[in-house]
Amino acid sequence: MNQSKRKFGRVLLVGRPNVGKSTFVNNLIGQKVAITSPKAQTTRFPIHALYHDERGRIIFVDTPGIFNKAEDALAKIINHKTMQAIKEAVDVVVYMVDQSRRRDFEEGRVLGIVRKIDRPKILVINKIDQGERYLAQYKFLEDEFKDVFVVSALKHQHTKPLMDKIFSLLPEEKAGDAQQENLTVPYPLLNLDSKTFIAELIREKVLLMTGEEIPYRTTVVVEEIKERNDKLTYIKAKILTTEDRYKRMLVGSGGRKIKEIGAYARKEIALATSKKIYLDLKVETDPHWQETYY
């Protein structure tokens, strides 16, 4: 590739829930732009993040995983937002599969959607660091995709050749691209404000520190961010959940659980913002939060 000609374009990441799309983007950019957890519905809306090096700039569109069957209202909303993102103008599609999990009907649905996208496509087989568990079940896809890469997004293994291929498929950067895509912002997240980003960091801790049922019944809203002085940032936030019984679980005996979530979230926010954080966190019951906030 001619190194003197910088590239610029949008790359769509698509796949089932939890295949590793957000981990790939985070490790590639070198800082957290999308929260991660082993649970479905971790990513609830598309995230636009900027990657750049001497070759040019890429806007990665990290989409929520596509569910085969949307069992609840939120899953339906997530699927809808993902389909909207897929219909946006992109230059390259990265279809990511998780070879540590069996291929199933959900994978078949995602593949059907990818087949209909008329853009250069790359197949990325992820989680090779876990051994070749179900790799054989995905081998047939290599006949369908010209470009195939087997990687570990978590360990950052074999991602350099993948990035070389992505850049080779992107168009050359034109004058005005930066202004058109609002690339003058210093932070790599292009479509999230600070309140949304911090809310996501707190929600990640809820996902990681609660049982199977609670995460899908909760969201986080940041109400206020205030610089108290040069050294301290005050953040007021609330965890919303659908029922009082989930609220009791989130608060915990003697307030132990909410204090634990708050402590871990505060450390994460401080690390992400390089500021000392005072986090005022509470739990409220709101059975209609899905309709209000999504």
For the chain, 294 residues long, the average pLDDT of each consecutive 10-residue run is: 76 94 94 86 88 93 78 79 86 97 93 94 97 95 95 95 97 75 60 89 93 84 91 95 94 96 96 91 94 83
Q: Taking a C-beta distance cutoff of 8 angstroms, is the pair 189, 197 a contact? A: yes
Q: Which of 85, 66, 87, 71 is nearest to 18 (CA)?
A: 66
Q: How far apart are CA 237 and CA 218, in angstroms?
A: 13
Dist. CA 42–CA 18, nearest whole Å: 8
CATH 3.40.50.300 for the 7-180 domain, yes or no: yes
User: Residue 1: its pLDDT value, please?
Assistant: 46
- Helix (H, G, I), strand (E, B), or coil: what is residue 105? helix
Domain boundaries, the chain: 7-180, 194-293
SS3 call for 52: strand
Give the span between the Cα atoms of 137 and 89, in whole angstroms: 31
Dihedral class, residue 131 (left if φ above 0, else alpha if ψ from -120 to 50, else beta) = left
Q: Which fold has domain 194-293?
A: GMP Synthetase; Chain A, domain 3 (3.30.300)
- How many angstroms separate the CA atoms of 273 and 231, rounded? 12
> For residue 274, what pLDDT is reported?
86
From residue 290, give the alpha-carbon distance in Å to each of 66, 82, 109, 287, 294. Answer: 18, 16, 25, 8, 5
Are the CB atoms for 152 and 196 separated by under 8 Å? no
Helices 194-209 and 256-273 cross at an angle (nearest 10°) of: 140
pTM (predicted TM-score)? 0.86
In the prediction, which pLDDT does 4 show? Answer: 60
**CA-based angle 278:280:261, to the nearest 5?**
90
Angle made by CA atoms 258, 259, 265, in degrees to the nearest 5:
85
Q: What pLDDT score was predicted for residue 183?
A: 61
Helices (H), the chain: 21-29, 73-86, 105-115, 159-169, 177-180, 194-209, 244-251, 256-273, 289-293
pLDDT at 2: 47
